[in-house]
Amino acid sequence: MDEKNNIEEIADLACLTFENGDQDNYQKSFDQILKFFNSLDRVDVKGVEPMITPHGIYPELRPDEVNNDIDREDLMALAPEVKDSLYKVPPVV
C-alpha cells in the first residue's frame, strides 16, 4: 500500500476529512510520528523491569461503586446510530 492510500485509510477509520491540501500535511506529520516510534526500537531495554509509572508512587484508586447518575436514554441520544437499544458500530475483524 502506498503512503497516500495509507493516510486515506487512517483518515477513513478516524472519520476525518481533508481540506484543501491538508492531506500532504497530515502525511508529513504521520511520517514524523512513525519515524519517532521507529527510533524507540533502537533503545536498549535489556534488564529494565516493566513499570506502570516512572516513579515508585502508585496512585490511590477509589473503589468502584455502581450508581445511576447518568440516564441511559440520554447517552443513547448522543450516539450516531442505535439499533435495538444498542450502539451500532462498524464491524471489527
DSSP for 31-54, written as a single string? HHHHHHHHHHTTS--TTPPP-SSS
Task: Determine the pLDDT at residue 2.
Answer: 55
User: What are the CB-based long-range contacts (under 8 Å, 24+) for 76-80?
Assistant: none
Task: Determine the pLDDT at residue 77.
Answer: 92
Reply yes or no on whether the pLDDT at 4 is more than 60: no
How large is the average pLDDT for residues 56-68?
A: 82
Reply yes or no on whether the pLDDT at 1 is more than 50: no
Which grid coordinates are listed for 63?
473503589
